[in-house]
A and B are shown apart, each in its own frame.
Chain A
Amino acid sequence: MTSAKPNESMATNPYPCGRYTPATGDPAAVNRRWFLQQCGVGLGAAALQTLLGGEALAASSADPLAPKRPHHTPRAKNVILLFMGGGPSQFEMWDHKPTLQRLDGTLPPAELLKGYRSAFINPSSKLLGPRFKFAPAGANGLEVSELLPHTAKVIDDLCLVRSATTDAFNHAPAQLLMQTGSQQFGRPSFGAWTTYGLGSESCDLPAFVVFNSGKKGPSAGAANWGSGFLPTVHTGVEFRTVGDPVLYLSNPDGVTPALQRASIDAVNTLNQQNLDVMGDPEIATRINSYEMAYRMQSSAPEAVGIESEPQHVLDLYGVKPGEASFAKNCLLARRLVERGVRFVQLFHESWDQHGDLKKDLVQNCRDTDQGCAALVADLKQRGLLDDTLVIWCGEFGRTPMVEGGDDGRDHHPNAFTMWMAGGGVKPGLVYGSTDDLGFNVAENPVHVHDLHATLLHLLGFDHERLTYRFQGRDYRLTDVHGNVMHDLLA
């Protein structure tokens, strides 16, 4: 398993992760070695040689999460992915179809259904008109559903893609395709590719953080934020909204912070003593891991401590401290990005409206609309939106045909709507369109692979060159597909 393409280390902060002072031992020797391992990342080989008095430790720049320079100047350096698991209905939210309304209750044309495979319904089911009203919003009078009053206010900051299309129409394979570029398990997620390519800006928080909210967990489970064949350090770390933000973050009962510090000092001293004998740089990494773990024990709770946010910010998101919600996760996403977290992924799995379409959509939009809009507005007012890419999407859309009586829609891969904001995408753009029934893309299709190519482009990568050698082949997020959608770029 060898890394394929160079992402040479970037000399940024020479002290990226704070200082480590050993409890005992020869401080000069330890410091020298520590400096080399900890901070050698950004230094040239000559400087290393000097520092070491000629002793080269080849592994010193091998940190897979060291910040790296991408292929070209990136437009975005952070990503917040708002994933609406289950497949939200574009017809009730984004893609207004008066014709569908007119033909409500009639059967779709047979030729449209040729070769069409559906998940649950008989494809030849009656058409179902949109169940909610649309009204013009923003500078361009774009039609947005009444379900999305908050998002309507930031519509001019969004780049709306009405022509997204995918290959899969079952949840797990479609989520995998959206997250990893493949319907099969075992590939790295988009977040993992991002940290593989860019490394981390944070030394005491994970580079890739995942939140879950909604009715269920994601269909494809932890593979949605897995590292696949990439080193496991690129796996997303699940954060919780209530309780410990990270598993095992709290000290055991009775262990005070001071005692934890003293214990880690003892562990690290013993590890250092073994390092002096064995000479294995892995032990130095272990020492660093414990130091970082200790820092994370204070930095992670600080990062998720929204009590420090002013009331008007809490009100903007509609968040009550102490209560888990999607909106709270949106606020946390902003806080994490501010603290150098590269990639934040919010799963909200609630959108599988085979039935109860109206009731559930009202609830789902009530749960997510304000948080999404607040996130965009908040990032913008803080100047973070320029280099933070926000993506809102599901794994597929829903059928123009009804499922059940008159209150459900089945999975539909042919055409659906998603949006992006910030990070170098064109604000106020509506891209692509669907036919009158919203069944197929009419113009400018954006396949999942194209989306990935475009997102990687915004992050500074040529998607054909961001590769990883596995099983004798150079793998990509986009496999052998994908075109950068230049029209979407600002």
Chain B
Amino acid sequence: MVRGLLIRLGLATLLASLPLTLRADEPLVFDRDIRPILSDNCFLCHGPDESSRATDLRLDSRESATADLGGYAAVTPGDSAESELVRRILSTDEYEQMPPPDSNKSLSPAEIERLRRWVDEGAPWTGHWAFTAPQRPAVPEVSESAPAGWDDNPIDAFVLRRLDETGLSPSPSADRQTLLRRVTLDLTGLPPTLAERDAFLADRRPDAYERLVERLLVSPHYGERWGQKWLDAARYADSDGYEKDKQRTNWFYRDWVVDALNMDKPYDEFLIEQVAGDLLPGAGQDELVATGFLRNSMVNEEGGADPEQFRIEGLFDRVDAIGKAVLGITTQCAQCHTHKYDPISHDEYYGLFAYLNNCHEATIAVYTDAELREIEQIERDVASIKADLKSSASDWRNELVAWAQSVRATEVDWTPVRVERENFTGEKFDYLDDLSVLSRGFSGSPLTADMATKPAAGSYSAVRVEFLTHPTLPRGGPGRSIYGTHALTEFRCFYTAPDGQRTQLKLVSASSDIDPPDQPMEFPFIDTTKEEDERRLGPIEYAIDEDLTTGWHTNGSPATRNRDHKAVFVLSEPIAVEPGGTLTFRLKQDHGGWNPNDNHTNIAGRYRFSLTKTPEPEADPLPREVREIIGRSPESWSESEWGRVFDYWRTTRSEWVEANRAIAERLDGFPEGTLQCVTLERDEARVTHLLERGNFLTLGQVIEPHTPAFLHPTPEGAPATRLTLARWLASRDSPTTARALVNRVWQAYFGTGLVETPEDLGSQSPPPSHPQLLDWLAVEFMDSGWKPKHLHRLIVTSATYRQASRMTPKHRERDPNNRLLARASRLRVDAESVRDIALAASGLLDPAIGGPAVYPPAPRFLFLPPASYGPKPWNLSKDAQRYRRSLYVQKYRSTPYPTLQVFDAPTGAAACVRRSRSNTPVQALTLLNEQQFVECAQAMASRLIAADESDESRIERAFVLAVSRPPTAAEATTLGEYLRSVRSEIAAGTVDAAAVSGAEEHSEELAAWTLVARCLLNLDETITRQ
């Protein structure tokens, strides 16, 4: 980006290190003073990774560091002169010197001195602090000289002690207006409304602030604000990523997160449901939706992609996300080799991976509360009609059995055949044990699949294609369309004789168990790039009519369409297959939509071919399941099997035609629901191998699920399931889970975490600024029942949080990065709040919670080639929808919404637990010129001139709307002068008032105030919580 001076991150970078100057009389703390030196400079070669270890020396444990190396030791406690480590780091001989010159590493004199002192003091050693479960430390005593209000909250005691040690003193409390805006933005992501401000300023009760906090904690916007933070960590996005980057509708997961936070779901449950909700007893829709966490990984449907490779990439991403979001530990290194710094080994990495490897990546339909009520009603209605039928035919069980006997004989003898693809397109296939093929990867349209088989020699009369459901298909399939359905343009059959001679076989008739009526193409399959789409869909005959505009399909009512279907194609004369002869079945699938980079596919998902010798067979109208049940004696049928058979049998009875129609009508009204990616466990476990160098093609040893040894163990006898992993992650014994979370929450309030690297609490992490405070908060959080709101309340009511954020020369000199917390941090708000503040100040904000993604104004070209790979839907939201909170803006991974992107919103390519906070000219251009910010200024102007007030009062109100405080005299003067100057320009006609105000009436006054509002919406303070 453009050269921005003093840009925040640079600042953070430069000043990242804690102001730690160790005095000679200050005791050494191994974790803080020694381990980082060893880890950073020595572990690469003398650390946990055996393969890269130089000699046998390990410096990551005291035992090996002090071991006898044949008359000498790396570390001789108490005697630095007799310690090889000290000798080597002091050596100037290029062959002896440590770290070696070619490592590009070197120790500073202060570090060398510290190491020497540590050895001389006996080389005391402790395990890395973060790998031992936190214990509640004693709260320091607060001296009587402490400032008022600093003796209440344990947080303040810890902070105060550190300040005392470093000779700094706390700042006074921020004024009430600042505090109101700060805590409102922090807890809800929105500024206070005028009414909220008036109420708070008028509340003179001593606990007014605490009451404010309670009000904010129950605001539904709390869940939105903190949900956004979790969604960063959960790498949430509304698209697949990679080349196609197709839209996904995963917003049920997003809303689940918001709801869970609003109801203060305990964090341990919150985690367990996201990692293994599907495996919980009695798991319902909510628990399934929660597992969307695992499914936020990207999906690559690029034409040449091997689906298995990208399934593995997805698993890597899941382990990474769990590491960063839950454990605060980086795992990525161990994907390819044993971690160089932290004690996670290569096989332990695949131990974690193995817990996650046994999933179906499923996409199911989920329903809103209203839809669920509708479904319940439909099911009640249908059950009551069926009950009426049964009571009207009291002998129905006997009649049904008689019918079952009569149809049993109609079954044709079909032999399933093993096929293999013959043509090569981007589409890829899994060949399943039941001889069916499962379509994976690329799914563009049109697409043709040629499947070849070498059947036993003999004469065959017909081919059956079963289109089968599968958990990995949308809604379970059997197709890959967004409805889980598919269309078949033409079915063709070829015979290749052993001599290579190939002939197309003539088909005379076709039948299927579903008989859709003729209909035109509909969304999303209709070709909207053409004036008229002449293609049609209809009965099975359309698949053999040699007409490429017509096709058969399996779409129908959402209640009934996601089932197995079958089609039978009869040859005009039996084909005599010679030994070595090949039959090729062609599925021509030209009835998808026009855009291969959108969800337009309409191809089959899973299917199986069978042959028969029976003459002129027809597709069995009985569902496979019913056929299976009636193949057994009725005595063995369960009540639900009776129900399944009844459900089919009733449709065969002509006297029940009315009732059947009534049922069909009710089912036609079944709600469509919304697609959601979820995780389902496979019945059959996948075998996990260690992958050499992380390559999915180089399988190493078989790995059983297990957790890393340096963390807490799983309970004795716990099964090796994902649920065990989930419970292990959320365990009280976990040394890092609670610490990682409280550290991130702290980071959100103070700009930097107590540990500066929230993604990595491991041995490479810089030491915590307040280690005991971190542990105290972690234990307090767990003791509260893992209640996030308890943690927030604790922090925002502390005196530390309530300090003023003014930076004095002393602060700048001593602690520019505010690690010691002698003041509150002044932070530019997150990208989402930048936009939300403008919407709120202007009065345009639509505060509705949840629902599908919205599409506010954006430059159209961004979503079209060549800016984006393919054309992407951006259906501009109408009316209030375009003023929804930024959390709901459609999030394409490859084409981020620019307003949010320039303010550092992450793309969702990987888990993000720490955002950049940049300050650039492109941000200035956005706030000054972007359409929606201009609209906000115009709307704010209307709001300002609505009341008949003086300029002074309006300026004051404008200020309050933007920054929740009235202007100072100087500020009012600046703005007043600006107002006068723009008025005179408008009056002089040098500024087009109608254009500026976007209004025809009162445009001059509106234009002047639009410009004033625009200035205010551009203030640094407006987008900062100070």
What residues make up the interface of A, taking CB atoms closer than 8 Å to B?
1-3, 5, 16-17, 23-24, 37-38, 41, 55-66, 117-122, 169-173, 184-186, 199-200, 202-208, 212-223, 226-227, 231-235, 237-238, 240, 243, 246-256, 258-260, 262-264, 266-267, 269-271, 273-274, 277-290, 292-293, 296-297, 347, 349, 403, 410-411, 464-465, 471-473
**Closest CB in chain A relative to B104 CB, distance in Å:** 5
Q: Is the CB of A58 within 8 A of B15?
A: yes
A-B pairs with beta carbons under 8 Å apart, 11 shown: A17-B3, A63-B5, A222-B896, A248-B925, A274-B1021, A278-B805, A279-B811, A282-B1020, A285-B5, A293-B924, A411-B304
Q: Is the CB of A58 within 8 A of B14?
A: yes
- Given A171-B304, A216-B870, A296-B925, verify A121-B993 contact (CB < 8 Å): no
B residues less than 8 Å from A118 (CB atoms): 304, 424
**Closest CB in chain B relative to A331 CB, distance in Å:** 17
- Given A59-B816, A270-B1019, verify A65-B7 contact (CB < 8 Å): yes
Mark interface residues in B809-846 (1 if CB within 8 Å of A CB, else 0): 10111001000000000101000000000000000000
Mark interface residues in B989-1026 (1 if CB within 8 Å of A CB, else 0): 01111111110000000010001001100111100101
Q: Is the CB of A185 within 8 A of B934?
A: no
Q: Is the CB of B3 within 8 A of A63?
A: yes
Q: Is the CB of A202 within 8 A of B807?
A: no
B residues less than 8 Å from A264 (CB atoms): 928
Stretch at the interface among B399-407, B795-803, B858-866: B858-866
B residues less than 8 Å from A232 (CB atoms): 1, 9, 904, 916, 918
A50–B8 Cα distance when bound, in Å, is 25
- Given A1-B914, A278-B826, verify A293-B974 contact (CB < 8 Å): no
A residues less than 8 Å from B991 (CB atoms): 254-256, 259
- Given A17-B5, A285-B4, A286-B919, verify A64-B10 contact (CB < 8 Å): yes
B residues less than 8 Å from A246 (CB atoms): 922, 925
A residues less than 8 Å from B7 (CB atoms): 62-65, 231, 233, 285
Q: Is the CB of A59 within 8 A of B866?
A: no
Q: Is the CB of B333 within 8 A of A473?
A: yes
The verdict on B81 contacting chain A, using a C-beta distance below 8 Å, is no
- Given A120-B426, A289-B923, verify A64-B243 contact (CB < 8 Å): no
**Closest CB in chain B relative to A447 CB, distance in Å:** 15
Q: Is the CB of A221 within 8 A of B9?
A: no
A residues less than 8 Å from B341 (CB atoms): 472-473
A267–B241 Cα distance when bound, in Å, is 39
How many residues on chain B are close to A (CB under 8 Å)?
122
- Given A216-B865, A270-B975, A464-B104, verify A249-B925 contact (CB < 8 Å): yes
Mark interface residues in B899-936 (1 if CB within 8 Å of A CB, else 0): 00100100101100010101111111110111100100
- Given A219-B302, A220-B894, A221-B894, verify A248-B930 contact (CB < 8 Å): yes
**Closest CB in chain A relative to B127 CB, distance in Å:** 17
- Given A222-B895, A349-B866, verify A202-B330 contact (CB < 8 Å): no
- Given A120-B426, A259-B982, verify A254-B5 contact (CB < 8 Å): no
Mark interface residues in B745-760 (1 if CB within 8 Å of A CB, else 0): 0000000000011011
**Closest CB in chain B relative to A236 CB, distance in Å:** 8
- Given A1-B757, A279-B807, A289-B921, verify A206-B2 contact (CB < 8 Å): yes
- Given A217-B868, A282-B919, verify A472-B242 contact (CB < 8 Å): no
The verdict on B368 contacting chain A, using a C-beta distance below 8 Å, is no
The verdict on B985 contacting chain A, using a C-beta distance below 8 Å, is yes
Closest 10 CB pairs of A and B: A119-B304, A221-B894, A472-B764, A254-B995, A293-B924, A254-B996, A185-B909, A231-B9, A62-B10, A219-B243
B residues less than 8 Å from A57 (CB atoms): 812
Interface residues of B in 715-762 (CB under 8 A from A): 756-757, 759-760, 762
**Closest CB in chain A relative to B736 CB, distance in Å:** 14
Q: Is the CB of B10 within 8 A of A267?
A: no
- Given A217-B865, A267-B1019, A472-B341, verify A223-B1011 contact (CB < 8 Å): no
Q: Is the CB of B812 within 8 A of A269?
A: no
Mark interface residues in B4-31 (1 if CB within 8 Å of A CB, else 0): 1111111111111100000000000000
Q: Is the CB of B869 within 8 A of A216?
A: yes
A251–B765 Cα distance when bound, in Å, is 45
B residues less than 8 Å from A277 (CB atoms): 806
A253–B994 Cα distance when bound, in Å, is 9
A285–B298 Cα distance when bound, in Å, is 36
The verdict on B978 contacting chain A, using a C-beta distance below 8 Å, is yes
A111–B1021 Cα distance when bound, in Å, is 68
Closest to B868 in A: A217
A264–B921 Cα distance when bound, in Å, is 12
Closest to B979 in A: A266
Closest to B985 in A: A259
Q: Is the CB of B925 within 8 A of A471?
A: no
**Closest CB in chain A relative to B381 CB, distance in Å:** 48
Q: Is the CB of A223 within 8 A of B929?
A: no
A residues less than 8 Å from B1020 (CB atoms): 271, 274, 282-283, 286-287
A274–B826 Cα distance when bound, in Å, is 12
A256–B931 Cα distance when bound, in Å, is 16
Q: Is the CB of A249 within 8 A of B757?
A: no
B residues less than 8 Å from A24 (CB atoms): 970, 974
**Closest CB in chain A relative to B817 CB, distance in Å:** 9
**Closest CB in chain A relative to B37 CB, distance in Å:** 14
Q: Is the CB of B1011 within 8 A of A280?
A: no
A residues less than 8 Å from B1007 (CB atoms): 254
The verdict on B898 contacting chain A, using a C-beta distance below 8 Å, is yes
A16–B895 Cα distance when bound, in Å, is 33
A residues less than 8 Å from B13 (CB atoms): 1-3, 62, 64, 231
Q: Is the CB of A266 within 8 A of B1015?
A: yes
The verdict on B342 contacting chain A, using a C-beta distance below 8 Å, is yes
The verdict on B300 contacting chain A, using a C-beta distance below 8 Å, is yes
**Closest CB in chain A relative to B14 CB, distance in Å:** 5
Closest to B909 in A: A185
Closest to B918 in A: A232
A233–B660 Cα distance when bound, in Å, is 65
Known: A66-B5, A200-B2. 16 other contacts (CB 8 A): A58-B15, A172-B242, A212-B867, A220-B894, A233-B4, A233-B10, A251-B929, A262-B981, A266-B1015, A270-B1019, A274-B1021, A280-B805, A282-B828, A286-B924, A289-B919, A411-B304
The verdict on B305 contacting chain A, using a C-beta distance below 8 Å, is yes
**Closest CB in chain B relative to A325 CB, distance in Å:** 11
Interface residues of B in 650-685 (CB under 8 A from A): none
